[in-house]
Amino acid sequence: MNVQAKVRKKHIPTEKEAEFLSKVENAKYDRKIITGLQKFIDGKVDDDMKDFYSQEEIDAIAVLKGTNKDIEARMPVKITRHYFERARVSAPIRTLVKASPAETFDLAGSEDPGKQMSYSPVEGLIHKYELGLIYVAGTCSAHCRFCYREELIAKKEIVREDGSIQAKGLAQIPDLVEYIIQHNKEVDEAGGIHPETGRERLREILMSGGDPMVLANKGIASWWAALSEAGIESIRLGTKELAFFPQRFDESFFKMMDDFHASYPQTKLRFMIHFNHPDEFLAKDEDGNYIDMPGGGLKWVEDTEKAIDEFGKRGFVTVDNQAPIIKNINNDPDALRIMQRELRRKKVENHYFFCGRDIVGHKAFNVPIEEAWNILNTSQRGLSGVEAHARLSITHYYGKTEVAAVTNEPVPGIPGGENGVVIFKLLRSAEDAPKKGQVAIVGRNPDAIWFDGYKDRVIMDDAGLFSTKA
Ligand code: SF4
């Protein structure tokens, strides 16, 4: 397809939409972002950032440049000043953003994790479940090295369903609105279920990327209003901006959100935030310890607390945290316990923890599945029921799957269960969810970091997780 020649459709806002958008103000932000390693190599960063990479680290990365193990070609390097301040007092946070040669030692992995392109009827939309996921931004304020959207952020060319090879594109409002209206019309005409896919109406959209919070207020507002006008009842926005640049959640942003709610009160807003480790939002004393607050809880980083408290004042928006468990970052039950407790104290729901995806280079980041289950389970000891809502999920091609249980003891009388078993449960399945709630039981393999580590020890598989490629 010749992208250049493609004619862009135009979205014509309704009167209500235009009135809301006329009130939105864009503020200017200076995230003080350092992009790429070259500035570190050339010493063209602030004096206090010069030793962020040692000469040894820089040399080890530099020899890979231009080879098939090029670190920046796999995933571009980026950090904000705010995140640097967190990183300087935290080894896990440094690991999260610092490029390392280990990332490209083994490049095994999927170029299109979750086979998303199989479910992309419109550029930038993944319509796999009952909700649609849209890519609205191709970058974030900083970049996590383990990013499971590295193909989008690094603009890698991937094979499409039609055999063409192109980078993933971003969603456009007119295309999305047209698709939602048409899909829902076909569902309504067929009596509530789509005649081809078996799906119901598209009621929910997750704005993702990259990070939608890199857009200006007007960009976010335009999406919200257009989606609401198209009949979307619930808009989710996935963001790590509270960790990378919490100052983005300023007065102008919350005013826009309040104005949106006043214009479209029926549309629910859900923020899916992404904290990996409490060091991203908790203040530390000179000895590197968290600071107890009189009356309970720990002291937060001021700007992050201000933003999270503003969310908490608004009943029409919910905030949920979800994060992968990554080697040398948050494979630490104590850190996860503190994080879950502190987030709940600030009205943030602990939604999912994830096993790392099978992205290119995933072996550098992924914790074995059974170890991740053990870390989360241990972290939830001592938490109250409401603090311990999070489940461990691993994303299969079929859909989101819970690692529901790992047994320590042999399961008597069950061939394959001599070393204990792992129970997977399908939480969401694509299209009309025929297998939702079904389970697969496999013999344990403490080294497995993906489904294929169990394919030789399947005991039962009602969910079909091992009869199709993950
Ligand atoms: S915030 Fe999310 S999309 Fe952005 S770099 Fe990190 S993992 Fe990737």
For ligand 1, atom 3, the nearest C-alpha belongs to: 210
Percent of the chain with pLDDT over 90: 77
Residue 143 Cα to ligand 1 middle (Å): 6
Q: 87 near 155, Cβ under 8 Å?
A: no
CA angle 20, 22, 23 (to 5 degrees): 70
What is the secondary structure of 121-168 as a DSSP string?
Answer: SSTTEEE-SSEEEEE--S--SS--TT-TTHHHHTT-EEE-TTS-EEEP
Ligand 1: lining residues by beta carbon, under 6 Å? 140, 143-144, 147, 149, 210-211, 240, 274
Helix (H) or strand (E) holding 370: helix 369-379
Residue-wise pLDDT tens digits, 452-463? 999 999 999 999
Respond yes or no on whether the N-terminal peptide bond of residue 210 is cis (omega within 30° of 0).
yes
What number does the ligand 1 atom closest to the CA of 238 have? Answer: 2
What number does the ligand 1 atom closest to the CA of 239 have? Answer: 1
Residue 240 Cα to ligand 1 middle (Å): 7
Residue 147 Cα to ligand 1 middle (Å): 5
Which residue ranges does the chain devote to CATH 3.20.20.70? 11-320+333-342
Residue 239 Cα to ligand 1 middle (Å): 8
What is the secondary structure of 63-74 as a DSSP string?
Answer: TTTTSTT-HHHH
Kindly state which CATH superfamily the domain 11-320+333-342 is placed in: Aldolase class I (3.20.20.70)
Residue 435: the pLDDT is 81
The structure's pTM equals 0.94
Residue 206 Cα to ligand 1 middle (Å): 15
Residue 112: the pLDDT is 67
pLDDT band at 114 (very low <50, low <70, confident <90, very high): low
Residue 1: the pLDDT is 42
Structure tokens at 450: 């993906």
Q: 72 near 99, Cβ under 8 Å?
A: yes
Q: Answer yes or no: is pLDDT of 290 > 50.
A: yes
**Could you give the CA distance from residue 183 to residue 173 in angstroms, rounded to a whole number?**
15
Q: Answer yes or no: is pLDDT of 139 > 50.
A: yes
